[in-house]
Structure formats: C-alpha cells, structure tokens
Amino acid sequence: MIKPSLCAALALILAGCASDPAPSEQLRLTEQTLTQVRALNISAEQSSGLKLAEEKFAAAQTAMTQGKHREARMLAEQAELDARLAEAEQMHHASQEQLHVLQGNIQQLRKQLGALQ
C-alpha cells in the first residue's frame, strides 16, 4: 500500500520547474503595489527598499518573457513584499515625524505657560 503514495511523492519532486503556470496575476499585483508605493513620496532612508523592489520586478518581467515562470513568480513575490516593507517603513517614519512636531508644540506651550506665571 505504500506504492501509490511513493509515486505521488516522486511525481511531485520531478514535476518541479517544468509545469509552473505563468504568474501573470502576481506580476499585476506587484506592479499595483509598486505604483502605490511610488506615489508615497518615499524619503531617502526608505528608498533603498523601493529600489530593490523595482530591480526585482524588472528581473521578474524579463524572466517572464523568457518563459522562466518559476523564477518570475519568486522575484515578483519578493518584490511585492520589498515594496510593502518600504511602504510600512515610510508610514512609520512619517508617524515619527508627526509625533516630534506635536512634542515640540507641547513644549512650546509649556514654556509660554511658565512665562505667564
């Protein structure tokens, strides 16, 4: 009774690279994410992450035209997350700045109050 499962396992192992479907949906998703992140006006510190994402996406597109579907999918998946991380870092950076401005305001107000008393 072991045989069928062995065959299946073997088939899985051998199937590997040959039958990967074209990852068009993933490429579309990655491109959409990239468009969204580019629009964010990313600051210099976070731009390296975005650059990495752009490079991987370009490589994914090349791999796609060469029919290397598996490689294209992996690159596109990674590019999507690289872009999303750049976006999340940018949001964090922006929230940090807003916090600093607010803290400055409060300090200013305290100073003014202190001067009045």
Partner 1 sequence: MNKWFFAPMLLLGLSGCSNLSSNDQQLLGEAQASFNRIKNDADILRAAPKDVVRASESLARAERLTSYWGSAEDVQHYAYLSLRYGEIAQQQSLTLLNQERQAQLELERQRLQLTLREAKLLSVQQQTAWLAEQMAMLQGVEGERGLVMTLGDVLFEVGEADLLPAANRTLLQVAHFLQLNPRRKVRIEGYTDNTGSADFNLELSRARAQSVADFLQDLGIAAERVEVVGHGIDFPVAENASARGRAQNRRVEIVFSDEQGRLSAER
18 contacts partner 1 (rule: CB under 8 A): no
Give the three-class secondary structure for 36. Answer: helix
Q: In 10 A of CB 6, how many CB atoms?
A: 9
58 contacts partner 1 (rule: CB under 8 A): no
Q: Which two tokens stand for residue 86?
A: 């750049």
Q: Which of residues 71-110 bind partner 1 (CB under 8 A)?
A: 74, 77-78, 81-82, 84-85, 88-89, 91-92, 95-96, 98-99, 102-103, 105-106, 109-110
Element at 108 (helix H, strand E): helix 69-116
Nearer of residues 21 and 114 to partner 1, judged by Cβ: 114
Q: Which residues contact 34 (CB under 8 A, 6 or more apart)?
A: 50, 53, 54, 57, 79, 83
Question: Would you tell me which residues interact with partner 1 (CB under 8 A)?
Answer: 2-3, 6, 9-10, 12-13, 16, 74, 77-78, 81-82, 84-85, 88-89, 91-92, 95-96, 98-99, 102-103, 105-106, 109-110, 112-114, 116-117
